[in-house]
Structure 1
Amino acid sequence: MKVFLVGPMGTGKSTTGRNLSEKLDYDFYDTDKLIEKAEGKKIKDIFEQDGEDYFRQKESKALSETKTLEKAVIATGGGIVEREENRLFLEHEDKVIFLDSSPERQYKRTKDSKKRPLLNDGDGLEILKQLYEKRINFYEAVSKKKIYMDNLNTEEILKKIINFIDE
């Protein structure tokens, strides 16, 4: 079984994914890390040197390479739902969980990061709000479960996910 975590940047997909994989004794994959390994450079550098379209192509490739995985938790990038091919892939998976969070909480978690290329040009909070509005329907369409993260601690989040997996 595979568990995919989708949602906006700064919701805690990677952190939650690592914690969940430890609890389930599954392997953990992060599509951003898979891209960095394949490209030999950081996401920020890929955006700067090759552009967002190139990055999105590599993101689709990384997602498709998870098809053969077993016993895996996969944290995806916030924009993975923008490409139709990725949405179709995720819609055919059984355990896709939308980790939702307010743009304000996302901003609090990301404002000091230098690794978020989409937040480099302008008001970070406003950018997060715009991205959220642009992508919310996609997250909801591909997911089988939605967990609102803002008022939950790690154990509560993991319990909700495990209960969903066990259904």
Structure 2
Amino acid sequence: MRKADLVYLVGPMGAGKSTIGRLLADSLGLAFYDIDREIEERSGVDIPWIFDMEGEEGFRDRESLMMQEISELGGAVVSTGGGAVLRDDNRSLMMSKGTVVYLCTSIEEQVRRTSKDRKRPLLQKGNPEETLRRLMAEREPLYLQVADHSIATDHRSPKAVVQELVAKIEDGDLNS
């Protein structure tokens, strides 16, 4: 595992990055950081407010700064936002500082998992399924570009996904 002290979880909304990240950090004895939650805690406002007031670009600026700061700390599992891969600097940072795991999920599962969540600004306008399809078409090549390992989360418990990841880490096989 490259840079074993930092594991970045990437993937679309609803892939399970936050839940799996928390469990994985506990299993590995590492700190856990959810980039979106860190931004909310430090700014004192929620992500939808940031999108409303600063736009997506303003949010992405905050996201990049938070990723840089957390990457300097080391010893952590980091749950990134679904769009963190959009910026070249973020992709370079993750690939150089840690191991990147792409949590894959289907559009159908994303729709199911996000249907009642009102804190996802990109899904509040238009048809959520169409939005998720558009985002996946744009972002999946970037998830694949940065990923050292991909793992499907559909129809699997977070614990089962974490067990597989821990086993791969222990075997030194996470980069396969």
Q: What's the TM-score, normalizing by structure 1?
A: 0.96
2:86 match: 82
SS in 1 for 2:73: coil
> Are residues 1:37 and 2:38 paired?
no
How far 1:111 moved relative to its partner? Answer: 0.9
Which deviates further from its counterpart, 152-161 or 47-56? 152-161
d(CA) in 1 for partners of 2:75 and 2:130? 37
> Are residues 1:18 and 2:22 paired?
yes
d(CA) in 2 for partners of 1:138 and 1:99? 13
How far 1:150 moved relative to its partner? Answer: 0.7
> Are residues 1:55 and 2:33 paired?
no
How far 1:37 moved relative to its partner? Answer: 1.8
Q: Which runs of 4+ in 1 moved over 6 A?
A: none
d(CA) in 1 for partners of 2:71 and 2:154? 31
The alignment of Structure 1 onto Structure 2 pairs a total of residues equal to 167
- Give aligned-pair identity as a percent: 39
d(CA) in 2 for partners of 1:154 and 1:13? 9
d(CA) in 2 for partners of 1:27 and 1:12? 17
Which deviates further from its counterpart, 90-99 or 39-48? 90-99
Conserved? CA contact 1:26–1:73, under 8 Å: yes
What are the residue-to-residue correspondences of 1:67-146 with 2, within 5 Å? 67-146=71-150
The amino acid that maps onto 1:100 is C
Q: Extract unaligned runs of 5+ from structure 2.
A: none
How far 1:38 moved relative to its partner? Answer: 2.1
Q: What's the TM-score, normalizing by structure 2?
A: 0.91
Q: What's the C-alpha RMSD, in Å, of the aligned pairs?
A: 1.1
Q: Extract unaligned runs of 5+ from structure 1.
A: none
